Structure 1
Amino acid sequence: MTLEFLGLYRETLHSPQRELDDLEILKSTAEELKKKGIKVTLLKPEEFLKERKKWENSNLSLIFAMCERKEILKILESFESSFIPVLNPIQAIWNTYRYRMVSLLNLAKVSFPVSELVSTHASHSKNFNSHPYPFWVKRGDVHNTQAGDVSLVKTAIELENVLSNFKARGISQAVLQEHLNGDLVKFYGIGSPAITNSRFSAWFKWFYHKDQDLKKHQFSEDLLKKLTQSTAQALGLEIYGGDAVVLPDGKIFVIDINAWPSFALFRAEAASAIASYLLVRSEKKARVFTTVKVS
């Protein structure tokens, strides 16, 4: 019987300045899956919501989803409950919401900057947790949707302005995060340690961010890979990307991680690896469901 996969695009609002890149990685993955003889349908989130009943009564083998909004994630949870694997697992996508991420990464004791979750309705004019300015202020739920969702603040006035802006937009929580001086690195990963299969080995790439005063501090690439994989595992992510900082002494800190990035610089290679991984994950013996939760 031919396997049937459903792919869901990311919401346009959640792809600021990355709309095309996000579209292309899903399309490229679908093409690689079709080469393997798999029937693939790609839908926008709003299309899926309209066709929900059709897909509930289908013979889907797997759903691969870039979407992030609460409404659709709650619906996809019902598919997981019917033992249809969803990649990334829905709980893992929930865990990338920063108000969950901070707690989970602290519990996992991964190398992560000092971070504090605060209400946007309170005054925070004092330096957070005794750390001096500057530090980062990030919206406390999803990742960037527009300019100002992540800001480096240098004064108490700037901090209050950012928090007031969040409050006005209906964002109730923010993360205040320690600023670390070092080389900024982007990383991508595919695979979970919970999957052991001779047909797939964990895929990993990294590169330096542009537009920085790059020092090229010496560090262990193997340590970067292990750290990013441990961070992803703490959240339950299997297809992921993020940012890390390498300090002058070679220490590495993951500063952010998200579900299913665009893989823009490695699109063709990543699409092939993702397709192979999805095929492995569609097999019953390889299904993994994230159980870690933070309320």
Structure 2
Amino acid sequence: MKELNTRELKVVGVRRDDRFSPNSVEKDRLILEAVGHHLAMDMVVIDESLLDESVEADIIFSMARLPKTLQVLRLLEQRGTLVINSPVSVENCSRTKLEQMMAAMGVPMPEKTGRNGYWLKRGDAAAQQKSDVVYCRDADELAAAKTEFERRGITNWVVSAHVLGDLIKFYGVRGGFFKYYYPSDDGISKFGAEAINGQAQHYPFALDDLKETVAKVADITGLAVYGGDAIVDATGHYYIIDFNDWPSFSRCREEAAAEIARLAVDNDR
């Protein structure tokens, strides 16, 4: 690995707004600090609401999601700042847009209808609270959940059929890093919705194929740091049910931080 000249580079970490880190505020802070540690340099970490055009940085490790912040990051990119993840890639992860992109490239996803219930998810942004992702047992509950979304001012949403099988969470960094875990094995949960799929049976599946698919989704969105969820059914078929920018990596923080730091090193070669 090439050594960075710490006296020449100014690095800033941008922590996403608390609304985008439900039950994960501390975990988000820790992954950014771990990245700074692996760079062997001081990294100033600021909240995304404080980022403005006056910030001077060679590299920005950004977890930001607010539209205003993403616009600032675009301007900084135009000035030559390396931004990881890029603002365009984050915008590509709104659920509605992401679903369209994945469908166009043939990514395995759940059907729109099924016999085991539905998931209703806000489509304009990542989940900000538990009620942004709702499991509905039948069509009547789905209709009621849509009405509640509209009452809250949410008119952009996606619907998918619930798939029976093992829920897995995966984490990745451009360049080959990939890890996956079963939430039912370690009990780590953001909202508790993982329990709907029950205890994992650890159905065998084609891991290399899943890794390849996830890498392709990362490429098409432009994300360098990413994570998501998948369901593996009893036949070994997998379905991507979520894909997002920069998770907290709490299950593999140090390994991931080293790989994220490497992105800056690779760019500086």
TM-score by length of 2: 0.88
Alpha-carbon distance in structure 2 between the residues aligned to 1:44 and 1:246: 36
Question: Are residues 1:242 and 2:228 paired?
Answer: yes
Q: 1:64 aligns with which of 39, 61, 64?
A: 61
Deviations 1:100-135 (A, max 9, x none): 1111111111112235xxxxxxxxxxxx5xx44511
- 11, 30, 37: which is aligned to 2:36? 30
Whole-Å separation in 2 of the counterparts to 1:99 and 1:242: 15
Secondary structure of the equivalent of 2:235? coil
> How many residues end up aligned between the 2 structures?
251
Letter matched to residue 43 of structure 1 = I
Q: Which residue of 1 aligns with 2:190?
A: none
The amino acid across from 1:270 in the alignment is A
Deviations 1:148-201 (A, max 9, x none): 11111123332122112221222121100122111111100001xxxxxxxxx4
Task: Single out whichever of 179-188 and 152-161 deviates more from structure 2.
Answer: 152-161
Match of 2:17 in 1: 11
Which secondary structure state, in structure 1, belongs to the residue aligned with residue 31 of structure 2?
A: helix
Quickly say closer, same or farther: Cα 1:77–1:146, change in 2 above 3 A: same
Cα distance, 1:266–1:133 mapped onto 2, change above 3 Å: closer
- Name which of 178, 184, 192 aligns with 2:161: 178
Question: Following the alignment from structure 1 to structure 2, what is the Cα–Cα distance between the partners of residues 157 and 226?
Answer: 38
Matched, 1:225 2:211: yes
Amino acid at match of 1:23: R
CA distance in 2, matches of 1:155, 1:221: 32
* Corresponding residue of 1:209: 183
Stretches of structure 2 that go unaligned for 5 or more consecutive residues are: 1-6, 185-194
Contact 2:36 2:261 in 1 (8 A): yes
Note if contact 2:116-2:164 (Cα within 8 Å) is conserved in structure 1.
Answer: no
SS at match of 2:164: coil
Q: Is the 1:108–1:234 Cα contact (8 Å) retained in structure 2?
A: no
Of all paired residues, the percent bearing the same amino acid is 30
Letter of the 1:214 counterpart: A
Which of 36, 40, 65 lines up with 2:43 in the alignment?
40
* CA RMSD across the alignment: 1.7
1:177-235 CA deviation, whole Å, 9 max, x = no partner?
Answer: 122111111100001xxxxxxxxx42111111214222211112212211211222221
Structure 1, gaps ≥5 residues long: 116-127, 192-200, 286-295
TM-score (norm 1): 0.80
Provide the secondary structure at the position in 2 that maps to 1:20.
helix
1:1-295 equivalences in 2 (<5 Å): 2-33=8-39, 35=40, 38-48=41-51, 52-55=52-55, 58=56, 60-115=57-112, 131-132=114-115, 134-191=117-174, 201-210=175-184, 211=195, 212-281=198-267, 283=268
CA contact (8 A) 2:116 2:163 kept: no
* SS of residue in 1 equivalent to 2:226: strand
CA contact (8 A) 1:190 1:274 kept: yes
CA distance in 2, matches of 1:88, 1:213: 33
- The superposition leaves residues 258-286 of structure 1 with CA deviations (integer Å, 9 ceiling, x where unpaired) of 000000011111111111122223x3x7x
What amino acid sits opposite 1:264 in the alignment?
S
8 Å Cα contact 1:3-1:39 kept in structure 2:
no
Contact (CA 8 Å) 2:53, 2:72: kept in 1 or not?
no
SS of corresponding position for 1:54: coil
Superposed displacement of residue 39, structure 1: 4.5
Moved more, 204-213 or 2-11: 204-213
Counterpart secondary structure, 1:148: helix
Deviates more, 1:5-14 or 1:213-222: 213-222
Q: Which runs of 4+ in 1 moved over 6 A?
A: none
3-state SS of 1:114 partner: coil
For the Cα contact (< 8 Å) 2:58–2:80, is it kept in 1? no
Q: Which amino acid aligns with 2:171?
A: Y
